[in-house]
Chains A and B, each alone.
Chain A
Amino acid sequence: MAAPTAITVRGLRKTYGSFTAVADVDLTVDVGEIFAILGPNGAGKSTTVEILEGFRTRDTGTVEVLGTDPASADADWRARVGTVLQTSGFTDELSVREILDHFASFYAAPRDTAELLAAVGLTEKASARARTLSGGQQRRLDVAVGVVGRPELLFLDEPTTGFDPEARRQFWELIRGLRDEGTTIVLTTHYLDEAEALADRVAVLVGGRVMEVATPATLGGRSGADAAVRWVDDDGPHEVLTDRPTQTVGELAARFGGEVPELRVMRPSLEDVYLAMVAASHHAADVERASS
């Protein structure tokens, strides 16, 4: 039996005047997975996610989020869905603890404020006024507010923009912890390493269309792609593209009689395949435009 689904999208379309923001998108997000949506600016990520969050209407298509059409979302549905928006301020003069307690009061069975503060690393800032928080601390409070009601489904819209690398890694641990508790997570991000580190599956959206949905390891035929074997000898640097890199390395080792100088075996990174997909799609759009 297939895994139960948290989100089902079929034939979703949204236009603004003559601009098509989302064109015929199909997506399925399983319960309990971290699903990342990647794409360049203007690809329709935000529009798609905002339709799923119930903040935007659609032109056509069917959308079901936790069994409900978000266009007719009520308070009961909102209680099951957590949302971390891209930009959202806090009431400046309230303390971190007061803000969390306040949002907790909207839910029947909220998380304990002290435990939540510890989970997002804001225990020491509990009494600090919201306006005194750094960007990274505000983002962690955003997430705390998003999960205070124990949501079954959490939307994270570019959650780590402006984080330093260490804060980003702490944040990833937090998100993995939520997934381990059974929360389904939909993540949009510009950081390919973030998608690779967190996502069970990624969807690449370009020009309002889904290019591919796959695991980060297999996206764009990545796992089966040729590897580049590079080394340096007296003639300078060399590179060989091969589908059997282990054999190539063995031959090199035999030739050099041991260590191969500056040996590197490279597979295309998620970023490589992602950029190739975006470039191919833009090229196709240019060709289409030129021929019409």
Chain B
Amino acid sequence: MSTTVHPTAPRAGAVRLGWKRGVVELKNTWRSKQSLGFTVLFPVMMLLLFASIFKGTIDFTNVKISQVYVAGIIGSSLMSTGFVGLAIGLAAERDAGMLKRLASTPMPKASFFIGKIVMVLATEMLQIIVLVALGASLFGVKVPGPSRWLTFVWVFGLGTTAATLMGITVGSVIRDAKSAPAVVNLPFVALQFISGVWITVTQLPAWLLGVAKVFPLFWICQGMRSVFLPDSFLVVEPGHSWHHATGALVLFGWCVLGFVLCMRTFRWTRD
């Protein structure tokens, strides 16, 4: 069975090992009932629950409340996977010494992050496919045309990047892995309520809307509404516009901030 390799044979490159890391991360996620429940079952349950309780259409639009939930939960899934999941996972892996073990090998550091990105992207795609399929079959969400998919691509790309970089940052700053779920779920739950996932944003008091607009989730969700909801919904959007340019700018700003913070805070070891 043993293969002879020349001792001076080069080691595998960072991208190839990054892909292998991604496969390992995905196997670990999808084989575990808890993480599969957290990533897929939880958003589906929230959608079905809220869509069963709140029926009808949004005032002055022909958009069903359930359709708003579909767009909102797709948006918040970027934050739950990129930010919440990554931060908790990273803190736990550091606490268990798993990061230190990897750092003790010749694995290129970049491969670790490529692996995390592969895992986040694949998990989000699975979530979005399930949510779009449910939305289209149960709640009459229209599967968008080509120009809207273009919007989807940049909202998804910038939103995931911002969420992932902030997830790595928070996962590095948290001292104790046990406190990680509380620390990251607090902003996640609060931001969902002020970013239009459960409540249309024009119902918010002006000051609260102002707070919401500082954070990426607001612009991710507004972007996703612009992809999955008809333009008639603009009646209940602030300024009756999707504000794509502002959204892209704010998300890009969070990507830059996230990159700087994540480079400054990331640690392989506990202390």
Residues of chain A touching chain B, judged by Cβ–Cβ distance below 8 Å, are 53, 55, 75-76, 78-79, 81, 83, 85-94, 98, 102-103, 105-110, 112, 114-115, 129, 145, 149
User: Among the listed B7, B8, B104, B108, which residue makes an inter-chain contact with A53, where contact means beta carbons less than 8 Å apart?
Assistant: B104
User: Among the listed B1, B9, B106, which residue makes an inter-chain contact with A75, where contact means beta carbons less than 8 Å apart?
Assistant: B106
State which size class the interface on B falls in: 20 to 34
Expressed in whole angstroms, the minimum distance between the Cβ of A126 and any Cβ of chain B is: 13
B28 near A93 with CB under 8 A, answer yes
- For B101, the chain A residues whose CB sits under 8 A away are 83, 85, 88, 145
A149 near B105 with CB under 8 A, answer yes
A79 near B106 with CB under 8 A, answer yes
- For A94, the chain B residues whose CB sits under 8 A away are 24, 27-28
The closest CB in chain B to the CB of A75 belongs to B106
Expressed in whole angstroms, the minimum distance between the Cβ of A265 and any Cβ of chain B is: 46
> Complex formed: what's the CA distance from A41 to B28 in Å?
36
> Complex formed: what's the CA distance from A68 to B101 in Å?
20
- For B1, the chain A residues whose CB sits under 8 A away are 112, 114-115
B12 near A106 with CB under 8 A, answer yes
A92 near B32 with CB under 8 A, answer yes
B5 near A108 with CB under 8 A, answer yes
Of B2, B6, B105, most buried by chain A (CB within 10 Å of CB) is B105
Additional A-B contacts beyond A83-B101, A108-B5, A109-B5 (7; CB < 8 A)? A75-B108, A78-B105, A88-B100, A88-B101, A89-B98, A102-B20, A105-B20
User: Among the listed A87, A90, A105, which residue makes an inter-chain contact with B17, where contact means beta carbons less than 8 Å apart?
Assistant: A105
- For A102, the chain B residues whose CB sits under 8 A away are 20, 24
> Complex formed: what's the CA distance from A110 to B101 in Å?
17
B97 within 8 A of A: yes
- For B98, the chain A residues whose CB sits under 8 A away are 88-91
B185 within 8 A of A: no
B269 within 8 A of A: yes
- For A106, the chain B residues whose CB sits under 8 A away are 11-12, 17, 105-107
Expressed in whole angstroms, the minimum distance between the Cβ of B266 and any Cβ of chain A is: 15
